[in-house]
Amino acid sequence: MKKVLLLSLLVLFVSEIFPQKKIVISLRIRCDNTTLEVYRDTVFEGTKYFVKPKTLQAPFASAQQLYDAFVSSYFYFDNAALNQDIFLRFTFDRINCQTGQFIGDPLNSASYFLNYEFRVFDIDALNPLGSPFNFNAGKFFNLVFKKTPQFNSWLSNLGISNAPDSLGFFYLSNGVYTNQGLQIPINNNDSIVVRMAHFSSLIGTSRSRITVDAKEEMNSLPSTFSLSQNFPNPFNPTTLINYSVPKESFVEIKVFNILGIEVATIVSEKKGVGNYSVEFDGSNLSSGIYIYKIKSADYFLSRKMTLIK
């Protein structure tokens, strides 16, 4: 009990020194020239916001399948991503009211499975803060798309596969596609993770339909091994760990208690070049500080995480 109390006080102390920025979110749908605010909520850096169920009324009812595809997905800002509190308009943009689908790109014969517009204002929603809106260096806005039956059905109806390397995510500005500022999507068994270094319009489509500069594609590949701080931290009982692999390697990620005793192996397999995310479940562990370590043939790194129940 004393240990839990001390950990709680430590978390409170750190949060007072490094206060999390506040984000007021207006989640919207735009169908032709009509916009509906689905939800308005307040979140803070480092906290997840889940897309909640909503029954859409006319003229948005045709987009019900589209909206349902993203229910249970969530997003969050890295801690210290922002320098100020903000108001964020997050819009499911350019939907055809007749078909209930995003308007795609006929020149590339590309159907969009998502088209998000992000507009950032000061916290009073009076003054726009510019586009693109950049986050602090090394910090990201994270989108986690859950591969629910509704999401998979949405892709299937558009003729898009959810297999690894088949989905493409791009910024779109003035008709130009780019993936600069996007980390290569992490395609897990149950989710897809996209990390954005700034806010601009985000497009999701079949990767084979869109071509970007080959040098740009190479720049988006990880060049070094990395192991990110878990999120959330502290956690109870699950947390996400992101890591990058710059060359095909056998990778292990293990968890140890403060006595150095191994308590879990969460990755132990050969991995290709890419960015990855894995969920750790501490349901069977007691509260405390744990060490997670990544190891390959020529790389080793460890970080601490805190489980509070």
The domain ranges of the chain are: 18-219, 226-307
Determine what percent of the chain is predicted with pLDDT higher than 70: 88
Low-confidence ranges of the chain (pLDDT < 50): 4, 11, 13-17, 213-219
Chain centroid offset of residue 278 CA: 13
d(CA 280, CA 105): 39
Q: Which fold has domain 226-307?
A: Immunoglobulin-like (2.60.40)
d(CA 232, CA 306): 9
Inter-residue contact 200 to 118 (CB < 8 Å)? yes
Q: What is the pLDDT of residue 117?
A: 94
Q: What is the pLDDT of residue 212?
A: 56
Inter-residue contact 118 to 129 (CB < 8 Å)? no
Burial bucket for residue 220 (CB in 10 Å: 0-12, 13-18, 19+): middle
The 10s digit of each residue's pLDDT in 221-245 is 677 888 888 888 889 998 888 888 8
Q: What is the pLDDT of residue 276?
A: 81
The verdict on whether omega for the bond into residue 128 sits within 30 degrees of 0, i.e. cis, is no
Q: What is the pLDDT of residue 8?
A: 52
Q: What is the pLDDT of residue 6?
A: 54
pTM of the model: 0.70
Q: How many CB atoms lie within 10 A of CB 39?
A: 13
Q: What is the pLDDT of residue 214?
A: 41
The 10s digit of each residue's pLDDT in 257-276 is 999 999 999 999 988 877 78
Q: What is the pLDDT of residue 31?
A: 92
Tokens encoding 32 = 């032709």
